[in-house]
A and B are shown apart, each in its own frame.
Chain A
Amino acid sequence: MSAQGPLLSVAGIEVMYSRLALVLRGLTLSVPRGGIVALLGANGAGKTTTMKAIANLLRSERGEVTKGAIHYDGARIDGLDPSDLARRGLSLVMEGRHAFSTLSVEDNLKVGAYSRSDGAVAESLERVYATFPRLKERRHQPAGLLSGGEQQMCVIGRALMARPRMILLDEPSMGLAPLLVEEIFSIMQQLNAEAGVTFLLAEQNAAVALRYATYGYLVEGGRVVREGPARALAADPEIRASYLGLDASAEADGASLAARRRPRWLS
């Protein structure tokens, strides 16, 4: 396999929902091995759709990739069953905390190891508990009763149980207190540094994401409109104005780059 190439590459994909709504319009990105890459953009830009296209989840929402290709570890993965990806070491942490609310925390974590047949599951469980001690305290409670932050830890822990080489992290900061956001992100950084896990991180909260990421893509209207090293993006005046809210002269509420160039309904 191409050990030199990027771990994940998305090449010019188009995604349509219900054969009507073209949501991604030729989106291209790549994630190097061991990298943390941020996918930034406003509501409805297409971040989640990109994540679901990679994880092959679109079919159950009547969406499909109509153009382009997705490669992971040198092999084409669009068209695989979603459950195959866990076996190949690619895990998605979905937007909106999809913990199994009726299952206990421990059962949630064990489901994460479904694709594994080695005997070291108990060991991984202990490692997840070491990373998230709060989960251990609540291991026998139904996950639906956890706080929002604990649920986020539960689903990240569940993803870790598959021993992934790459995690797609969709909007982990959503609805969390700033301190908890930092905690989640620093755990991500630690997994990246110590276990070599590669991350693709979708975030509206560009300020935080760019502090932890090495590289970033800005998505608008289903396309990448800007990309570069995280530092360069964080310093980009237009991005600072629209997404980081740091320029007083910008319109309120972060109007997008494209919206200022042309009316969106014509695109």
Chain B
Amino acid sequence: MGDFSFFLEVVVGGLLSGVMYTLVALGFVLIFKASGVFNFAQGAMVLFAALTFVGFLEFGLPMWAAFLLALAAMLALAVAIERTVLRPLVGQDHMILFMATIGLSIFLEGFAQLIWGTKVRGLDLGISDEPIEIGGILISQFDLSAALMAAVLVAVLSAFFSYTKVGRALRAVADDTQAAQVAGVPLGFIWAVVWGAAGFIALVAGLVWGARLGVQFALTLVALKALPVMILGGFNSIAGAIVAGLVIGVSEKLAEIYLGPFVGGGIENWFPYALAIAVLLIRPAGLFGAARIARV
């Protein structure tokens, strides 16, 4: 019995961290879907967002105001990126756009640290890290709150893209960009919306991970956690990102606990990649990645 509730604890803990992986992966997936670009700068956006939030806090602003201002900064950043990076590169090869996001990432890291400095800052969101007992198992309150926030954000974004006019237009752009333009969808606006959504995600991810790891350069590495999620779930599938995030969260924790002792621990860091590569060999497009719907 004790064994089983321990197992459950591990699974629930894995699910909770899995939601966070999903969140970060979703930032990539949205941009990839809409423009076919792998946004290397997603990690830098997480750092930029977290530093901006903490910076406003240090001015003595209350948390909600700092959040809104940081969000406004991320949206402004999205518009600026669309104007200065994406628009001039319309029609260029995807590899060139990918290179541009590498440049963007280095710029953002430097720019954020230029404004806010390079020292590591603690971030206290005021959520206690005391474990609470639910149904006989112990769950970290912080993990639970973070997962709830992420889940709400994921749900809101999915609803937005499924049911609104702009969401429909975004799916049209993802499907056939030229046809969407011809139908009257302004590409620049859609890209700004997508990058804005990715900025919003980066902000939430930056807060949660920042509260755990401290707000520092290492936050950019959070993006690495998303990579196996995307390989597993497919680069262009929102449902895939959700399921794969959960699968990776749970399996890395289980592997750590039940396989770790045999190989000397530390599995958590590379197990997701091993799993992703295994899937890659069997299903190159990922579990959910669209082989496009088409009649043959």
Contacts and interface: CB of A to CB of B under 8 A. Distances in A.
B175 interface: yes
B93 to A, nearest CB: 10
A103 B168 contact: yes
- Among A82, A108, A142, A155, the most chain B Cβ lie within 10 Å of the Cβ of A82
Interface residues of A, number: 39
Given A110-B168, A142-B293, A145-B295, A98 B179 contact: yes
Given A60-B91, A114-B165, A144 B295 contact: yes
A112 B171 contact: no
A189 interface: no
Contacts of A59: 90-91
Contacts of B185: 83, 111, 114
Nearest to B182: A92
B180 interface: yes
A95 to B, nearest CB: 11
A62 B171 contact: no
B182 A91 contact: yes
Q: In which size bucket is the chain B interface?
A: 20 to 34
A30 B172 CA distance: 32
A115 B184 contact: yes
Contacts of B186: 81, 83-84
A94 B182 contact: yes
A240 interface: no
A55 B183 CA distance: 11
A101 B168 contact: no
- Among A112, A146, A159, A161, the most chain B Cβ lie within 10 Å of the Cβ of A112
Interface string A69-84: 0000000000001111
Contact of B183 (A57, A62, A111, A147): A111
A94 B180 CA distance: 11
A114 B90 contact: no
A60 B177 CA distance: 10
A106 to B, nearest CB: 10
B60 to A, nearest CB: 43
Contact of A101 (B91, B169, B183, B294): B294
Interface string B67-110: 00000000000000000000000111000000000000000000
Interface of B: 90-92, 165, 168-169, 171-172, 174-188, 290, 292-295
Interface of A: 55, 57, 59-62, 81-87, 91-92, 94, 98-103, 107-108, 110-112, 114-115, 142, 144-147, 155, 158-159, 161-162
24 contacts: A57-B181, A57-B182, A59-B90, A59-B91, A60-B178, A60-B181, A62-B91, A81-B181, A83-B186, A85-B184, A99-B179, A100-B171, A100-B172, A100-B179, A100-B180, A101-B293, A102-B171, A102-B175, A107-B168, A108-B172, A110-B165, A110-B168, A112-B183, A144-B293
